[in-house]
Amino acid sequence: MNGLITQSLEQGNVTHLYQFPYELLESYEREWIDWIKEYTNKHSVPPNVERFCDAYDSFVAVKRADPITDTYEKALTKKRNSWSRRFLMGYKEYFDDGKDPLPIIKELYETLTLGDVEIMKFSEYDRSRYFRARTSLPYGIELLDYYTGGASAGDLIYIFGRLGTGKTTFAMWIIKKWLEAGHKILVVSNENRAEDIVAKIDSFIGGWNPLKRRLMDWTPDEEVKIKTVSHIASTLDGEIIIPTVPIHSVDEVQSLIHSHNPDVVVIDGVYLLSDNKGDSANWEKLTDVSRNLKRLADGHGIPVVGIHQANRASIGKRVGIENIAYSDALGQDADLVLGLSEEEDGDLYIDCLKSRWGKNNWGLFVRLYFDTMTVKLLTDRIPLEESE
């Protein structure tokens, strides 16, 4: 660390000192950095080495001929190694007791990745990327794809509505489209068992009402369809990964992403997740969850789709963004918000309430046919005054 401080002060550039993770420093090193910050703020220039040695006569200047970026990386690696050893030794009894290591691993990871600040220079950006193969995942509804560009890397997408509006069914139909397109989808649901999710996707592929599985009311033709779907599932390039136990936190979702490397994550029941270790109101928990889901989407470069509830204020009317239950943070964090409302005739109105990359406040009508498990865009019911 002495070498980095010396080189930074010699060059009059303290950027790397400010960037260095505070958590990895010894108490006396923190005092050094704080003094340099105060001096720089007061005089508008960093101190030179001689002035710093006057303030701290115990400091030993270490000359470096390497580039300052190399000095920074060496100091950071050394600090990470020593901090990690002390950190893990402090949890020896915790691990010996067989407790869940995931929270500890998360804390270790987050601390060790501090200081890794990647930048992109506008002048050097490779604009040939604009013409490369499409990386977004189309939703399968032409108008929705036209106005949103599909689900793209880093997107946080919320689909919400009142109870019984068909949120999960609509999401499963999109998942089926992504599956057929060869994508790998991680589906996390604390509302539906893994077998029920498989049955719903099967019903979309085979074209039968999913209620038949509960009633065991199969015709000979449908039994043939089930065998056909089983064959199709084994030959598809895409895959659906479904945990068979409840997933309670974003940490667990992240662990699944590391294990299975999906192209997209769908979370059915965002409000059932919790990242807050203490007792707090629902809005505080959901705020933490939403912010962490956005970081997860950005960090892994994949879309994350969350299915959520609308509040009671939306009963009897079309949902608005103010009707997202529990926390305004969900609407703030999201790149795309789709509000679902059931019309009196049973049709589903999908309202694009927020889109960072396209047109806001437009909608479309779809109809869900449960006997054949198909979704049809009702082009004759598009509210043209909103979508044109």
Q: Which of 119-133, 197-211, 217-231, 332-346 has the lowest mean pLDDT?
A: 119-133
Q: φ, ψ for residue 133 (rounded to 5)?
A: -60, 145
Q: What is the residue-wise DSSP string for 323-374?
A: GBSS-THHHHH-SEEEEEEE-TTS-EEEEEEEETTS--SEEEEEEEETTTTE
Could you read off the pLDDT of 199-213 as tens digits, one per residue? 999 999 999 998 898
Q: In what helix (H) or strand (E) does residue 13 lie, and over which residues does it extend?
A: none
* % of the chain beyond a pLDDT of 90: 48
Could you read off the pLDDT of 259-284 as tens digits, one per residue? 899 999 999 999 888 765 444 447 77
Find the angle CA(17)-CA(22)-CA(27) to the nearest 5 degrees.
100
| β partners of residue 308 | 160
pTM above 0.75, yes or no: no
Closest CA to 20 of 71, 65, 56: 71
Could you read off the pLDDT of 112-153 as tens digits, one per residue? 877 665 667 787 778 787 777 667 899 988 888 988 999 999
Residue indicated by tokens 């270490």: 62
pLDDT at 65 over 90: no
Average per-residue pLDDT in the chain? Answer: 88
Q: How far is CA 119 from CA 39, 67, 130, in A?
A: 27, 18, 19
Bridge pairing between strands 374-377 and 362-369: antiparallel
- Give residue 388's pLDDT: 41
- Give residue 118's pLDDT: 62
Length of the chain: 388
What residue type is assigned to position 336 of the chain? L
Range 230-241 average pLDDT: 95
- Looking at residue 243, what DSSP letter applies? -
Could you read off the pLDDT of 286-333 as tens digits, one per residue? 888 999 899 899 988 999 999 999 999 988 899 999 999 887 889 899
- Give residue 115's pLDDT: 65
In this structure, the dihedral spanned by the alpha carbons of residues 127, 132, 137 and 141, taken in order and rounded to 10 degrees, is 100
The 3-state DSSP class for residue 62 equals: coil
Q: How far apart are CA 51 and CA 243, in angstroms?
A: 60
370: its two tokens: 């449960």
Alpha helices, DSSP H, located in the chain? 2-11, 15-19, 27-43, 49-55, 68-89, 92-96, 102-112, 142-148, 167-180, 194-206, 211-215, 220-235, 250-260, 282-300, 329-333, 384-387
